[in-house]
Amino acid sequence: MIRRLLAMALLAGVQILLALMLYRSAIEAYRQMFGGIRRDISYGLQLQHSLYLFGALAVCNAVWLLSCRSRRSGLIGFGVCLLLWATFWANAFASMPYRSLLVVGIGTLVLAIPLLVLLRFRRPGQVADVRPGNAA
């Protein structure tokens, strides 16, 4: 049980760090190629609040993926997280479509990577054994 919780925490932490790294890298690459970007206080506040939301979604995604019993369940969990993430950013698409698309795209990619990796290496009939005392 402790190993499973540590795996969930590690997966969530990696997702959060990967999202931050990809976003900062993309913004820095844009600055290097085209110069400074427009500073918008409302976008900055939404980006700040989205870090909390993405952290919660990464935890939910990790818990769901590491405890799901089928590929369909993993896809449903990813779809729910993706829907919440895209809905949170829906209001910013009108004023800053490219930056919003960048953030939603990075979030989608980071949430999808564990789904692809974990479900790719499981056999179709393999079911996680959740009985106490069994090492997963």
CA distance 55 to 98: 22
Confidence of residue 52 (pLDDT cuts 50, 70, 90): very high
- Spell out a b/e string for 70-109, using b for 16 or more CB atoms within 10 Å of the CB, else e: eeeebeebbeebbeebeebbeebeeebeebbebbbebbee
Max mean pLDDT range (2-11, 33-42, 111-120) = 2-11
Reported as a single tens digit per residue, the pLDDT across 61-104 is 888 888 877 778 888 888 999 999 999 999 888 888 888 888 99
CA distance 117 to 124: 14
CA distance 40 to 92: 11
pTM of this prediction exceeds 0.85: no
**Looking at the chain, how many residues does it have?**
136
Give the mean pLDDT of the chain.
83
